[in-house]
Amino acid sequence: MPHPKIVLVGPTASGKSTLVASISGILIGTRTTCPFEWNICRSDTDTWSAEVSVGYHFRTLFDSKRLLVHGATSLTEDGPCSTPVQLLRLLGRAQIIAFSPFQDPVAILSMDDEAVSRNYSEILLSSLPSKGVIYVDLMVPGFTSRGITIVDLPGK
């Protein structure tokens, strides 16, 4: 069944991600560095779960107005995240992967927390645009709606 889709656009620190957090229950706690697509649905069970994937967009060489979106790579192949803490740890790595389209995602996923923090700080300082999009599929017990998709875009 179709559900509402919302795109959040606005300047940095205008509250876009806070709105997502109030709906999803997940507060990332840093500025949005790349687009996030949150697909939030009611879980059929009492189990909370989340799956994360990263896709990339590139301009074609011959048609600069058309974006190519490469198939998204799942970061939860071993199974979905079962806690918000597990999801937050994975989202830190997903943001690094979104900025690193030519690096092996497995190497980034295996980084320790200190390396993730260091790499993420470099991303924040660089202010380069991301070629990646992070997709989060969130299944929430007792979610009041059938589902909603929220696209959280980085501010300027």
Residue 27 CB contacts under 8 Å (≥ 6 apart), including other chains: 17, 18, 21
Top pLDDT among 122 and 67 is at 122
Distances (CA, A) of 46 to 1, 24, 68, 88, 118: 21, 16, 38, 20, 36
Top pLDDT among 148 and 59 is at 148
Confidence class for position 1, pLDDT limits 50, 70, 90: low
Q: What is 64-91 written as a DSSP string?
A: TT-EEEEEEEES-TT--B-SHHHHHHHH
Domain housing 131: 5-152
Confidence class for position 77, pLDDT limits 50, 70, 90: confident
In the chain, % of residues over pLDDT 70:
90
**Least confident span in 51-65, 90-104, 117-131:** 51-65
Measured distance CA(75)–CA(91) in Å, rounded: 10
Which pLDDT does position 70 carry in this prediction? 56
Domain count, the chain: 1
Which pLDDT does position 115 carry in this prediction? 94
**Average pLDDT over the chain, rounded to whole?**
85
Q: Is pLDDT of 49 > 90? A: yes
Which pLDDT does position 57 carry in this prediction? 76
**For 51-55, what is the mean pLDDT?**
92
Give Rg (Cα) of the chain. Answer: 16
Decide: pTM greater than 0.75: yes
Backbone angles phi, psi at 125, to 5 degrees: -75, -25
